Amino acid sequence: MKYRSLGTSGLTVSNQILGTMGLGSETPEKEAFAILDAFIDAGGNMIDTADVYGGGASEELLGRWFAQRNKQAGHVVIATKARFGTGRDINDCGTSRPHLKRALDTSLRRLGTETIDLYQMHGWDPLTPVEETLSFLDAAMRAGKIHYIGLSNMTGWQLQLFVSTAKALGIPAPVTLQQQYNLVYRESDYEVIPAALHNGVGLLPWSPLAGGFLSGKYAKDSRQTSQARLNNGDVMTRHMKKELFRHDRNWAILEAVQAVAEQSGL
């Protein structure tokens, strides 16, 4: 395992991060614990989750895993996110001060920890001023509830607004940006990555294998592909698979990846 700094922060993390969207909901607990153990044994030290993964089940599972492996928990960098709806109230979403306070306290309780290392805004909130979001996050850092702040699923101008506003307020700026980025999905190349590089913000790619598409487990026009498109995963996952499967360009990319893998003996 290789390691690097998390953006411009002083935190050192493994260059592979374990995402846990399916843990706690789709993956049985025993199997999930085995995956987490294997990741740590391989030298990984950063785990990413979110308050909406499995309706909170992912954070709860991680909390139980940390409790059973208390010697390891202190060495794991914990990243989670908030922004999307977690309840029926009209204010149970977004990046407003009230929602983030409830979301952060809930995540801390589920994870069984006093501090979250990287607290990420899971998406842009067009209704909440960036100043309000950043002021809450700054207060949470000073209270010791979070160490660093990050962003996710943003455009280049949204990232720049967060960074510039933080500098104007004299408070810590986001150190990371988590985006969908892989050989199939390259939209971040145009604006987001240049903005991140300009500001020294670390890029955390999510879905590096395009939801398993680039692993080679799907074949074009096969029955498995048809079933995967129609039946597997939640609404968002099914939509992503449908978009992946219906473009010939994506299958051409997969063929190129498979050719390189075969030449490399993989």
Task: Take residue 108 and report the two structure tokens written for it.
Answer: 């801390």
Q: For residues 33 and 160, what is the distance between their CA atoms, to the nearest angstrom?
A: 38
Q: For this structure, is 53 an active site residue?
A: yes
State which amino acid sits at residue 142: R
Closest by CA to 169, choosing from 194, 197, 186, 149, is: 149
Q: For residues 258 and 264, what is the distance between their CA atoms, to the nearest angstrom?
A: 10
Residue by residue, DSSP assigns 131-187 as HHHHHHHHHHHHTTSEEEEEEES--HHHHHHHHHHHHHHTSPPP-EEEEE-SSS--G
Q: How many C-alpha atoms does 95 have within 13 Å on its Cβ side?
A: 26
How many residues appear in the chain? Answer: 266
Give the bridge partners for 14, in sequence order: 3
Instruction: For residue 39, give the 3-state DSSP assignment.
Output: helix
Q: For residues 39 and 35, what is the distance between their CA atoms, to the nearest angstrom?
A: 6
Q: Write down the catalytic residue from 53, 119, 181, 218.
A: 53
To 10 degrees, the CA torsion angle through 113, 114, 118, 119? 100
Residues taking part in catalysis: 53
